[in-house]
Every structure is written in structure tokens, then in C-alpha cells.
Amino acid sequence: MDLMHHSKEEFIEQIAAGNKVDTGDWMPDDYRQLLIKQIHMHAISEIMGAYPEKEWVKYAPTIQRKLALNAKIQDEIGHGHMLLRLAEDLSAPLGRGREDLLHDVLDGRVKFHNVFHMSAPSWADAGVIGFLVDGGAIITQAMLLASSYAPYARMLKRIVAEESFHMQFGESVVLALASGTEVQREMLQQAINRWWPAMMFFFGPREMGPQSQRMLEYRIRTMTNEELRQKFIARYVPRIHALGMTLSDHELYQDPDPPHFWHYTDPDWDWFNDMVHHNTGPMSQARLALRRGAQEGLAWARHAALQAHATIDVRAATL
């Protein structure tokens, strides 16, 4: 996008006409702030999302499952660091670097995704996270492929491709359990009972706040929370029933008339808000403690990598 006069009105017109903003383009301050908020939280959530699954690597039932789960976790950490590069570029004019962005989750300056505050007490949870959470992430991230910020959309192409492998891993675990013994089927049912209500708050509140509204106006995102949730429900209700599993939400039904809206039991939004704002979920503090251990315990490795990078730069400059 080429904006000669750098006016906010022109910027909004260009976005509405479907033009994209690229690296180095001028952007209004509030657009930059909203991008940082979105991409920073996304990056940190990818990293925090690795923890519930990491707990299950050593208990994976076969070497193939262990390798696949390990690869998924490495992908998620990779997604986090790729996205941090974007957030870092956007934050540089504000004087904030990667260390600050990584540290922010530890002192509550950035939230992490609501579902990663929940517990994953059985192997079936590791499968259901891939099946439902990565399945939900694909819906959100496919919407973000149309984002007005081109570097984010480009990066998401690769991320979404990898998320589809994660979903297939989860689906494979879920199918194995669904066609297993009674004990395995019960373990799967219990995990679905835990994660379905979490998926109802995965996409966020029905009423979106002013910042989310602004993200829609700027086309950083292109669908509402409720539109995304409806898409998820429509896709997953038949899949879960096809596994021979049940959904315990008695208010879950689809309107027979167009637009065939799905009704569901609303999550306890007060409980939800408290959890995401004050880290009071069942596993919030435990996961933050793991993150703190990694952040502080591996500071030497980041420092050494930066030193090595600086040395290579000096050598390259003298060749």
C-alpha cells in the first residue's frame, strides 16, 4: 500500500478497498497497537499451548505417537517464535524487544489463550486437544489469512498447513480410542466432556469489546467470535456423533430454519473473564511456572545465541 499523505482516513479507505499493509508501510498508531496486541497474544499462546501436551510426551503409548506429539510441540514453539518476529518488528519503534515480549506473559502484560488454562489429565486429552483445539485454531487462523496485514497473512499460510497435521494427529488418536476397549471409549468421552465446554469459550464472548470491533473495521480480522463458534459447532457436532460419542449440552440444537443457527449453553462468562484476566484457571499458575522456568533457565542459551550471531555478523563484515 502506498500512502502519500499518511492520513488515517485514506488508510481506512484503502483497507476497505481490499488493499494490504506490508512491512515498512505507514500505519496509524492504533492500527499498530491492535496488530501488536493480536500477534503478541497469538505468539505467546502458541508457546503456552505446548505445555498441556508436553505433559503427555513421556506417557505416549507408542514410539510413533511420541514422535508425532513431539513434532507437534516443536511446531507450536516454532509458530510462537515466527510470530514473535512479527510482533518484534512492530514493537521496535516503541522501544520493546523480543525479551520484553516473551517476559510479558509472566507479569500479566499479555494474556494467553483461554483453553490453555485448562487441565489435560488423560492421554485422551492429548488427542482431543489436537482434534478440537487445533481444529478450532484452523477456523480462526483460516479467517486471519484474509488479514489486512500482509506479513501476518503470509506467515499464517505455513502455520495453518502445520495446524492441519496437528488436527490429523489428534483425529488419529481419537479414532484409535473410539474404536478401542470400553475403558478407552470412556476415557475419550470424559475428555470430550471436559473440552467441549472449553471450546464454547475458545472463540471468546458473544459480545465483542471495542478493541475487537476496531480489529474488524481495520480488517485485521474478518469474522466475529460468534461466526467462528458457529462454524466450529457445525463442523464438529457431526464428527463427534460419528465417533459414537455424546455431547452433554442439553441446550445444543440447530434451528431448523435458515440460517440454521446453533444454540448452546453459554459458558459462565464471569468465571471466564476472571480466569483470562487474573490467571485463576485450573492450570493457569502451573503453566506460568513452567514458562517462568523455561524463560529464566534458558536465558543463558538465548544470550549465547545472540553472542554467536553478533560474532558471525562481524566475521561476515570483515570478509
Q: Of 40 and 79, which CB lies nearer to Fe ion in the complex structure?
A: 79
Strand ranges for the chain from DSSP E: 253-254, 262-263
Q: At its nearest, how many Å lie between Fe ion and the CB of residue 171?
A: 13
CB 188 within 8 A of CB 124: yes
Least distance CB 94 / Fe ion (angstroms): 26
CB of 2 to Fe ion, least distance (A): 33
Phi-psi region of 279 (alpha: psi -120 to 50; beta: other; left: phi over 0): left
CB 217 within 8 A of CB 12: yes
Residue 150 carries which side chain, given as an amino acid letter?
A
Tell me how far, at minimum, the Cβ of 134 lies from Fe ion, in Å. Answer: 4
76 vs 125, beta carbon nearer Fe ion:
76
Nearer to Fe ion, 48 or 124 (CB): 48
Cell 509458530: give the residue: 79
Cβ atoms of residues 245 and 178 within 8 Å: yes
Minimal distance in Å, beta carbon 170 to Fe ion? 9
* Least distance in angstroms from the C-beta of 198 to Fe ion: 16
Smaller CB distance to Fe ion: residue 43 or 90? 43
The string of DSSP codes covering 87-115 is HHHHHGGGT--HHHHHHTTTTTSS---GG
Closest approach of Fe ion to the CB of residue 162, in Å: 7
CA–CA gap between residue 313 and residue 37 (Å, rounded)? 31
Helix, strand or coil, per DSSP, at residue 149: strand
Extract the C-alpha cell encoding 60: 505416549
Q: Please answer whether residues 200 and 111 qualify as being in contact, where contact means their C-beta atoms are separated by less than 8 angstroms.
A: no
User: What's at 114, amino acid-wise?
Assistant: N
Give whichever of 31 and 166 is closer to Fe ion, judged by the CB atom: 166
Taking the least distance from each CB to Fe ion, the nearer of 46 and 171 is: 46
Interface residues toward Fe ion, by CB under 5 A: 46, 76, 79, 134, 163, 166
Q: Residue 58 corresponds to which amino acid?
A: K
Which residue, 168 or 295, has its beta carbon nearer to Fe ion? 168
Nearer to Fe ion, 76 or 88 (CB): 76
Question: Cell 482516513, residue?
Answer: 9
Q: Are strands 262-263 and 253-254 parallel, antiparallel or unpaired?
A: antiparallel
Minimum Å gap between C-beta 159 and Fe ion is 6
The residue at minimum Cβ distance from Fe ion is 166
Q: How does DSSP assign 22-51, residue by residue?
A: -TT----HHHHHHHHHHHHHHHHHHHHTHH
- The distance from CA 237 to its chain's CA centroid, rounded to whole angstroms, is 21
